[in-house]
Amino acid sequence: MQATEQVTEAQVWSWLEEVPDPEIPVISVVDLGVIRGVEVNDAGVRITVTPTYSGCPAMAIISLDIETAMAAKGVENLEIETKIAPAWTTDWLSEKGRARLESYGIAPPQAAGGPEKCPHCGSKSVEKVSQFGSTPCKAQWRCLSCLEPFDYFKCI
């Protein structure tokens, strides 16, 4: 309990910055925008998480990874609440998260509904292969210049 009493909300947020998204490990769960609240009080630490997609299989792992990370920092009384409203949107991806996605080879979401450019060579000549991809949050595209396929982070 001592450890929990001493932590601040800012500290918890910084610790969460170190918890990677299990499916796209270059961005943190904070960058992904799924952490909706951190509250520290006498009872302990309460973290509110929202799913990206309602069936996202990574949710259980995200909660487990958060628990593990908080335990490593000495947080003893942790409560993780899942909340679906307001519904997650790709607008909640951080700027840092978007930049990291792109350098990792995943085109960040655009309001226009498709990638701005190929994350490999920067060409704007790209085409959709499929509206779905390797995880619920991604679609498959390909570059017509360098001919490489790439993931596009769906915009919702």
Partner 1 sequence: MTPATGPAAARFEDNLFEFLLRQGDNALVLGHRTSEWCGVAPALEEDIALANTALDLIGQTQLWLGYAAEVEGQDRTANDLAFRRDAYDFRNLLMLEVPNEDFGRTLMRQFFFDAFQVPWLSALQTSSDQRVADIAAKSVKEALYHLERSAETVVALGDGTAESNARMQAALDYLWPYAGEAFVDDAVDQAMAEAAIAPPPSQMRADWGATVHATLANAYLTRPESEFAHKGGRTGARHTEHLGHMLANMQVLQRSYPDAVW
| Closer residue to partner 1 (CB): 40 or 115 | 115
| Closer residue to partner 1 (CB): 22 or 136 | 136
Q: Which residues pair with 126 in a beta bridge?
A: 143
| Closer residue to partner 1 (CB): 45 or 139 | 139
| Closer residue to partner 1 (CB): 51 or 69 | 51
Q: How far is the CB of 124 from partner 1 (least distance, A)?
A: 22
| Closer residue to partner 1 (CB): 13 or 132 | 132
Which residues sit at the interface with partner 1, rule CB under 8 A? 51, 53-57, 84-87, 89, 129-134, 136, 140, 154, 156
| Long-range CB pairs of 106-111, under 8 A, 24+ apart, other chains included | 106/24, 106/138, 106/150, 106/151, 106/152, 106/153, 107/141, 107/150, 107/151, 107/152, 107/153, 108/153, 109/152, 109/153, 109/154, 109/155, 109/156, 110/155, 111/155
Q: What are phi and psi of 81, to 5 degrees?
A: -105, 135
| 67: Cα within 13 Å, side-chain hemisphere | 10
Do residues 34 and 20 lie in contact, with contact meaning Cβ atoms separated by under 8 Å?
Answer: no
